[in-house]
C-alpha cells in the first residue's frame, strides 16, 4: 500500500429533510449574507429552492441569487459571477445543484481573490484564499460536494480543465436523496457511470491497497445494483440514498487511498469530448471511453483487469467483463460509441490535439499520442 495522507474537512448532513440544517450551519459560522449559485431551474421544479430559502430566512441570512450555470459549466459564467460577488461583497458562496453548479461556485470562491479565475486552472497560479462554500446537492455523480476539485470549460480555447485546492472543499454539504427523484433516468445513469469511473481511475494503479480495492469492488457493485433499481422505480429512496452515498465516497478520497494519485487518462480524454460538445453529459462520455480503455490496457496488464471482471461482474475473462459493462451502459439508454455521442470522424484530430495538450495522459501506463488515437478509434 502506498503511503498517504487523508484529510477531508467537509461536514455532511445526509438524509431526507436535511436541507433544514443549512441555515443554522451558516449562522453558526457568522454568515449574514451569501451568493447562491444555481443552474437552469430544476430546483424550482422540485422543492429544493423553497427549502433552501426557508432555512436561510429562518436564520436571518440574506441570499443573492446567480442563476444560469449550464451543464459542463463555462469560464465566462464564472467571470460574471465573480464580478457579482465583488459587487455584493459576498461572505460565502452557496451552491444549489449538481457538479456543474458546485464546480462553478468553487471557481467563484477562489476567483474573487485572483486577477482572473482561469489562473487557478492548469496549476499556473496557486489558490491562496477562497470564500467559504456551502452546497445542497441535487444529483449524485461527481463527488464535488466533498472534494476540492473544480472543472470548467474555457470556450475560447476549448479547454476543459480542472483545479484542485484544499481551500475549496465545501464547509458543509447537504445530501438529501429524495430531491433526486425528479432526475430524468438518463441523468441518474450518467451520474452512476461517472461515479463508477472515479473508482476505476484509482482501481488499477496499485495492487497492494487491498482494503481500498475491496471498498471499491463494493462501491462499483452497489452503484450498478442501485441504478438498476432506479430504472425500475425512480422513487426508490433506498436505492437513491445508497447510490448518492456511493457517489460521494467514489471521489472524496476514500476510494483511492494507497493508490497513488490515480490514472485519470479516461477523464482527460472525456473532458475533451464535452469541451467540444457541451451537450455531452460527462458520465455518458466516460461510458464510451472506459470500456475501450480497459479493453486496450488489459492486454498489457491482464491480471489487474481480471480482478475487476471477476469481482464486479462475476466473469472469468476481461473481455466478458467489458461486454457486461457495455451491455449495462446500453441497457441504461446511454451511448455506446463516439459516433453515438454525435462526434464526427473528422473531429478526431482536434480531439487528439486537445487531449495531448497536457504533459501526460495516464499513469498505469503513460499513453502516447498514437495510443490515444488508437483508443479513440476503438471507441468510435
Cα–Cα distance for residue pair 241/238, rounded to 1 Å? 5
Listed in sequence order, the DSSP H helices in 47-98 are 48-58, 75-88
Tell which one of 141, 168, 309, 364 touches ligand NZQ (CB under 6 A). 141
Draw the binding track, 173-202, toward ligand NZQ (x: CB under 6 A; -: no contact).
------xx-xx---x---x--x--------
Element (H, E) at 172: strand 172-175
SS3 of residue 139 by DSSP? coil
Residue number with CB closer to Zn ion (143 or 321): 143
- Residue 297: CB minimum distance to Zn ion, A: 18
Residue number with CB closer to ligand NZQ (77 or 267): 267
Binding of ligand NZQ at residue 74 (CB under 6 A)?
A: no
Rg (CA), the chain: 20
**Sheet with 133-137: strands ordered across:** 11-14, 172-175, 133-137, 93-97, 33-38, 62-66
Segment near ligand NZQ (CB under 6 A); pick from 100-108, 122-130, 341-349, 364-372: 100-108
Binding of ligand NZQ at residue 242 (CB under 6 A)?
A: no
Binding of ligand NZQ at residue 40 (CB under 6 A)?
A: yes
DSSP 280-317: S-HHHHHHHHHHHHHHHHTTTSHHHHHHHHHHHH--SS
Total of chain residues touching ligand NZQ, rule CB under 6 A: 36
Segment near ligand NZQ (CB under 6 A); pick from 113-121, 136-144, 213-221, 226-234: 136-144
Listed residue (250, 271, 247, 286) closest to 137, CA to CA: 247
Binding of ligand NZQ at residue 117 (CB under 6 A)?
A: no
Tell which one of 10, 51, 100, 248 touches ligand NZQ (CB under 6 A). 100
Q: Which does 275 bind (CB under 5 to 8 A by kind): Zn ion, ligand NZQ, none?
A: none
Cα–Cα distance for residue pair 219/339, rounded to 1 Å? 30
The residues binding ligand NZQ (CB under 6 A) are 39-43, 46, 71-73, 97-101, 103, 138-139, 141-144, 147, 149-151, 179-180, 182-183, 187, 191, 194, 251, 267, 282-283
Amino acid at each position: 500500500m502506498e503511503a498517504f495522507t487523508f484529510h477531508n474537512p467537509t461536514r455532511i448532513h445526509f438524509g431526507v429533510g436535511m436541507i433544514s440544517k443549512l441555515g443554522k450551519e451558516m449562522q453558526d459560522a457568522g454568515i449574514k449574507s451569501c451568493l447562491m449559485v444555481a443552474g437552469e431551474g430544476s430546483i424550482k421544479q422540485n422543492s429544493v429552492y423553497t427549502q433552501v430559502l426557508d432555512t436561510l430566512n429562518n436564520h436571518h441570512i440574506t441570499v443573492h441569487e446567480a442563476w444560469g450555470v449550464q451543464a459542463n459549466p463555462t469560464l465566462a459564467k464564472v467571470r460574471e459571477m465573480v464580478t457579482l460577488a465583488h459587487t455584493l461583497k459576498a461572505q460565502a458562496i452557496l451552491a444549489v445543484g449538481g457538479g456543474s453548479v458546485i464546480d462553478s461556485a468553487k471557481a467563484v470562491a477562489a476567483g474573487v481573490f485572483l486577477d482572473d479565475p482561469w489562473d487557478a486552472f492548469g496549476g499556473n497560479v496557486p489558490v491562496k484564499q477562497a470564500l467559504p462554500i456551502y452546497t445542497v446537492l441535487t444529483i449524485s455523480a461527481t463527488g464535488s460536494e466533498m472534494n476540492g476539485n473544480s472543472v470548467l470549460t474555457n470556450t475560447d480555447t476549448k479547454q476543459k480543465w480542472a483545479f484542485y485546492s484544499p481551500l475549496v472543499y465545501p464547509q458543509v454539504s447537504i445530501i438529501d436523496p429524495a430531491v433526486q427523484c425528479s432526475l430524468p433516468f438518463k441523468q441518474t445513469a450518467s451520474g452512476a457511470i461517472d461515479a463508477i469511473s472515479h473508482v476505476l481511475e484509482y482501481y488499477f494503479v496499485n495492487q497492494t491497497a487491498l482494503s481500498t480495492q475491496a471498498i471499491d469492488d463494493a462501491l462499483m457493485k452497489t452503484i450498478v445494483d442501485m441504478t438498476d433499481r432506479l430504472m425500475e422505480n425512480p422513487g426508490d429512496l433506498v436505492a437513491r440514498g445508497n447510490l448518492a452515498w456511493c457517489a460521494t465516497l467514489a471521489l472524496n478520497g476514500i476510494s483511492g487511498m494507497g493508490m497513488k494519485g490515480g490514472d485519470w487518462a479516461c477523464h482527460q480524454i472525456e473532458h475533451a469530448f464535452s469541451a467540444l460538445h457541451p451537450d455531452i453529459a460527462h458520465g455518458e462520455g466516460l461510458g464510451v471511453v472506459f470500456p475501450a480503455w480497459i479493453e486496450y490496457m488489459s492486454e498489457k496488464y491482464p491480471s489487474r483487469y481480471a480482478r475487476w471482471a471477476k469481482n464486479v461482474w462475476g466473469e472469468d475473462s476481461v473481455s466478458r467483463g467489458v461486454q457486461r459493462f457495455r451491455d449495462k451502459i446500453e441497457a441504461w439508454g446511454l451511448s455506446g460509441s463516439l459516433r453515438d455521442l454525435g462526434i464526427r470522424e473528422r473531429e478526431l484530430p482536434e480531439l487528439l490535439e486537445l487531449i495531448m495538450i497536457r504533459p501526460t495522459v495516464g499513469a498505469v501506463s503513460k499513453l502516447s499520442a498514437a495510443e490515444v488515437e488508437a483508443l479513440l478509434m476503438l471507441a468510435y
